[in-house]
C-alpha cells in the first residue's frame, strides 16, 4: 500500500519586495478620517534634524485665532507645530540579512513519516499531508480518511509529541476554513524575525490603519499587521522571560514609525521601573503625563491611580466635546476640526490618540486592587470612540489579576508561553499557550480566531537609537498634559487650614470676575480668558473655592458658581480685602 501524498510549501521570500530605507509618512489624520484611499505621501523633509542652536521658533497654535473660520482658509494642519519633524529611518535598526528557512528536507520527511506512523498505530489512515514552513514551527496539514473521528486525533497530542521527541506539539482540529487537521511541530533551528524585515515590508509601509502594529510573522511566513484602533484594547500575558517586554517594545516602535507626535501620545506605566525608562527621551514628543510631575513614565502605584482617574476625566471631557460637535467618534471630530467647522474658543481642539501601556498589571492589582481595576474597566468599556486605547501586560494570568470585569472588555489578547493549561485558558479561553516554544512564539486571539505568530525581535540598543533619533529633534515645550485630579498629592482644592490670604494670586480678583460673569467655574475658561498656564489657572480655582466663589471639585463637570452676580462679588471682594 502506498503512503499518503506529501507536499511542501516553502516560505515566502521575506526580502522579495524592494526595501526602502524609510517608512513612508502615513496619510494625515484628515485624509484617514475621510475614508479616501489616497497613496501615502512622501516624508515632510529629508534634511538633518535642527540642532538646538538653530531651532526655529514654535509655530503659534490656533487657540484664539479670530481668522480660524475666515473664507478661503486652508484646512488646519495639526502637524505644523513640528513641521520639521522627521520620521525614523530603517537604518536605525539592525540588518540581519535575508531570512533563510532553517528546516532541511530530511527533517520534513522524518517528521512526516513519524506522524503517519504514529497515527497508523491507532488505526488512523491519512489521505494526504502537506507541510508549511514557518519561522519557528512547521505546520503539517493532514486529511484523514473518511470516517475518522477528529476527537480521536486530538486525543493523541501527547503520543505524537513523544514519537517526534519535540517540545510543544499543538494540534488544531479542524483548521478554521479548511477541511484539514493541523499539527504544529517546532523546528529544530529557529529563525529570528528581525523588526527591520517586518517594518520594511510593503504590508506595513503602505498600511492605511490608524494605529498599525507589525507584530512579526505568521506560521506561513507572512508579515502580521494589526490595527490597535480596531482591537480596540490589547491584553498580553506570558511567563517571565518569554518575550513580553520585547513585544511591548515592538508595539511602541511600530507606532513611532507611523505616527506624527501631534497624532499620538503614550501614557507609560512601569511598576518595574526599568522596562520602559528608555522611552524617557521622547517625553516632549510622544508622552503624556499629569501636571506638576517630574517623570513622564509612571512607576509609583499612587501616581498610577491618579493617572488612570485623570484619563477617565480626559475621556469624559472628550465625550462632552464630541457631543457638542455632533460627532460619534474621534475621526469624525478631528475631520470637522481640521476643516475648521469647530471653534477653538468653545474649547474644541485637535485630539491625538492616547495609548495607555501598563507593563505589569499583577503588581498594581496586588498593591491597589479595586482602585486600579475600576478605572481600567471604565476606560476599556467606553474609551474606544474617543481614541484612548489600552495595552495591558502581565506575567501572572490568574483570575485575581485578570478579573472578569477586565477580561470582558479586552476582546484581543496575546499569550506568550505560559506554564499551565489553566493559565492558557485564563488568558485565551482555550488551551494552546502552554504548548508554545518560548522566545517570542505567541498566540494572537481576536474573537474566535487564533493566529500563531513569531514576534519580531528588537534589541535594547535599537530602541535606544530610535528614541535618540526622535528625542534629538525639536519637540513641544513639554509633554502632553492630562487633566489634574483632585486628591492628587493630598490636594483636594480648598485646604483651608494652610491657606494664606497674603499668598493670593495677583490675578485673583480678575479671575473671580471672569468666573462670575460667565457663571462657569472651569480652569479652561481662566486659561483662555486670562491667557494663563494650566497650573496657575488651577491654583486660582483653588483660591476661589477657599474664598467661597466656586463650589468643590465635581469630577469632569465644571464647578458650581456660588456668587449670583457682580454686585455680590464686589461686596465679597471688599470683605476679603478688609480681612
Of the candidates 426, 283, 314, the one whose C-alpha atom is nearest the C-alpha of residue 361 is 426
Using a 10 angstrom Cβ sphere, with 0-12 exposed, 13-18 middle and 19 or more buried, the burial of residue 179 is exposed
Paired residues of 138 in beta bridges:
133, 185
Contact between residue 218 and residue 455 where contact means Cβ atoms under 8 Å apart: no
The DSSP H or E segment spanning 426 is helix 421-428
Q: Judge whether residue 474 has pLDDT over 50.
A: yes
C-alpha cell at 511: 479671575
Q: Quick one: pLDDT band at residue 48, thresholds 50, 70, 90?
A: very low
Using a 10 angstrom Cβ sphere, with 0-12 exposed, 13-18 middle and 19 or more buried, the burial of residue 460 is exposed
Q: CB-hemisphere CA count at 13 Å for 236?
A: 24
Paired residues of 9 in beta bridges:
132
Alpha carbon distance, N-terminus to C-terminus of the chain: 107
Q: Judge whether residue 26 has pLDDT over 80.
A: no
Distant-in-sequence, close-in-space partners of 343: CB < 8 Å, separation ≥ 6: 68, 69
Lowest-confidence region among 45-59, 275-289, 338-352, 425-439: 45-59
CA distance 533 to 475: 18
pLDDT tens-digit readout, 354-401: 999 999 899 888 888 888 989 999 999 999 999 999 999 998 888 888
Q: Which residue has the higher pLDDT, 461 or 17?
A: 461
Place of cell 533563510: 100
Task: Say what the pTM is.
Answer: 0.75
Q: Judge whether residue 282 has pLDDT over 90.
A: yes
Contact between residue 131 and residue 138 where contact means Cβ atoms under 8 Å apart: yes
Strand pairing of 449-455 and 126-133? unpaired
Q: Which residue has the higher pLDDT, 25 or 568?
A: 568
pLDDT tens-digit readout, 246-257: 999 999 999 999
Looking at every residue in the chain, the average pLDDT score rounds to: 82
Q: Judge whether residue 234 has pLDDT over 70.
A: yes
What the chain holds in terms of domains, given with CATH numbers, is 100-186 (3.30.980.40), 195-481 (3.40.50.300), 492-578 (1.10.10.10)
**pLDDT value at position 556?**
64
**pLDDT value at position 100?**
67
Contacts 24+ apart (CB under 8 A), 50-54: 50/84, 50/473, 50/474
Q: Judge whether residue 63 has pLDDT over 60.
A: no
User: What percent of the chain has a predicted confidence (pLDDT) above 70?
Assistant: 84
Contact between residue 345 and residue 518 where contact means Cβ atoms under 8 Å apart: no
CA distance 290 to 281: 17
Say how many residues make up the chain: 579
Phi/psi of residue 368, each to 5°?
-120, -20
pLDDT tens-digit readout, 301-333: 888 999 999 999 999 999 999 999 999 999 999
Q: Which residue has the higher pLDDT, 437 or 498?
A: 437
C-alpha cell at 442: 505567541
Q: Quick one: pLDDT band at residue 526, thresholds 50, 70, 90?
A: confident
**pLDDT value at position 96?**
83
Using a 10 angstrom Cβ sphere, with 0-12 exposed, 13-18 middle and 19 or more buried, the burial of residue 486 is middle
**Mean pLDDT across the stretch 531-546?**
85
pLDDT tens-digit readout, 162-207: 887 777 788 887 887 788 889 888 888 888 899 999 999 999 999 9
Q: Find the DSSP H helices in 17-125.
A: 29-34, 105-121
Q: What angle do CA 222, 223, 228 make, to 5 degrees?
A: 135
Three-state DSSP state, 121: helix
Computed from CA positions of residues 228, 234, 238, 240, in that sequence, does the dihedral angle turn out positive or negative?
positive
**pLDDT value at position 13?**
52
Place of cell 508579515: 223
DSSP-derived letter for residue 329 is S
Contact between residue 46 and residue 61 where contact means Cβ atoms under 8 Å apart: no
C-alpha cell at 444: 494572537
Amino acid at each position: 500500500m502506498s503512503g499518503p501524498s506529501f507536499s511542501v510549501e516553502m516560505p515566502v521570500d521575506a526580502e522579495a519586495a524592494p526595501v526602502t530605507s524609510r517608512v513612508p509618512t502615513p496619510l494625515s489624520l484628515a485624509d484617514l478620517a475621510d475614508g479616501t484611499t489616497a497613496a501615502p505621501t512622501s516624508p515632510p523633509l529629508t534634511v538633518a534634524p535642527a540642532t538646538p542652536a538653530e531651532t526655529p521658533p514654535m509655530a503659534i497654535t490656533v487657540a484664539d485665532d479670530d481668522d480660524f473660520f475666515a473664507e478661503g482658509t486652508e484646512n488646519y494642519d495639526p502637524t505644523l507645530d513640528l513641521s520639521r519633524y522627521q520620521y525614523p529611518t530603517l537604518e536605525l535598526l539592525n540588518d540581519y540579512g535575508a531570512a533563510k528557512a532553517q528546516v532541511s528536507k530530511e527533517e520534513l520527511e522524518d517528521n512526516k513519516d513519524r506522524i503517519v506512523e504514529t497515527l497508523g498505530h491507532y488505526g488512523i489512515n491519512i489521505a494526504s499531508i502537506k507541510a508549511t514552513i514557518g519561522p519557528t514551527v512547521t505546520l503539517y496539514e493532514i486529511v484523514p480518511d473518511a470516517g475518522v473521528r477528529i476527537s480521536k486525533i486530538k486525543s493523541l497530542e501527547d503520543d505524537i509529541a513523544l514519537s517526534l521527541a519535540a517540545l510543544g506539539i499543538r494540534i488544531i482540529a479542524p483548521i478554521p476554513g479548511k477541511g484539514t487537521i493541523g499539527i504544529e511541530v517546532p523546528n529544530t533551528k529557529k529563525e529570528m524575525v528581525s523588526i527591520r524585515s517586518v517594518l520594511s515590508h510593503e504590508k506595513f509601509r503602505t498600511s492605511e490603519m490608524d494605529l498599525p502594529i507589525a507584530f512579526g510573522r505568521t506560521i506561513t511566513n507572512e508579515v502580521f499587521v494589526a490595527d490597535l484602533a480596531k482591537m480596540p484594547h490589547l491584553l498580553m500575558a506570558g511567563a517571565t522571560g518569554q518575550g513580553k517586554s520585547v513585544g511591548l517594545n515592538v508595539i511602541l516602535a511600530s507606532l513611532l514609525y507611523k505616527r506624527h507626535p501631534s497624532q499620538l501620545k503614550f501614557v507609560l506605566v512601569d511598576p518595574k521601573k526599568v522596562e520602559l525608562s528608555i522611552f524617557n527621551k521622547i517625553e516632549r514628543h510622544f508622552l503624556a503625563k499629569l501636571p506638576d510631575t517630574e517623570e513622564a513614565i509612571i512607576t509609583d502605584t499612587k501616581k498610577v491611580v491618579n493617572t488612570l482617574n485623570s484619563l477617565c476625566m480626559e475621556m469624559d471631557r472628550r465625550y462632552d466635546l464630541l457631543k457638542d460637535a455632533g460627532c460619534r467618534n474621534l475621526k469624525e471630530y478631528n475631520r470637522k476640526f481640521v476643516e475648521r467647522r469647530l471653534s477653538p474658543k468653545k474649547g474644541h481642539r485637535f485630539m491625538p490618540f492616547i495609548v495607555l501601556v501598563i507593563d505589569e498589571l499583577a503588581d498594581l492589582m496586588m498593591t491597589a486592587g479595586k482602585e486600579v481595576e475600576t478605572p481600567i474597566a471604565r476606560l476599556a468599556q467606553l474609551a474606544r470612540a474617543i481614541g484612548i486605547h489600552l495595552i495591558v501586560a502581565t506575567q501572572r494570568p490568574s483570575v485575581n489579576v485578570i478579573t472578569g470585569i477586565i477580561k470582558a472588555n479586552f476582546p484581543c489578547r496575546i499569550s506568550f508561553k505560559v506554564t499551565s493549561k489553566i493559565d492558557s485558558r485564563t488568558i485565551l479561553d482555550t488551551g494552546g499557550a502552554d504548548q508554545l516554544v518560548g522566545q517570542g512564539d505567541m498566540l494572537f486571539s481576536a474573537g474566535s480566531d487564533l493566529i500563531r505568530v513569531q514576534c519580531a525581535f528588537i534589541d535594547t540598543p535599537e530602541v535606544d537609537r530610535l528614541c535618540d533619533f526622535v528625542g534629538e529633534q525639536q519637540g513641544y515645550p513639554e509633554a502632553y498634559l492630562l487633566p489634574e485630579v483632585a486628591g492628587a498629592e493630598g490636594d483636594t482644592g480648598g485646604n483651608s487650614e494652610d491657606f494664606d490670604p497674603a499668598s493670593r494670586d495677583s490675578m485673583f480678583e480678575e479671575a473671580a470676575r471672569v468666573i462670575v460673569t460667565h457663571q462657569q467655574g472651569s480652569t479652561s475658561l481662566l486659561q483662555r480668558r486670562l491667557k494663563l498656564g494650566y497650573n496657575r489657572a488651577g491654583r486660582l480655582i483653588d483660591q476661589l473655592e477657599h474664598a467661597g466663589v466656586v463650589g468643590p471639585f465635581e469630577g469632569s463637570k465644571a464647578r458650581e458658581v456660588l456668587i449670583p452676580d457682580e454686585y455680590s462679588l464686589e461686596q465679597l471682594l471688599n470683605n476679603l480685602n478688609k480681612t
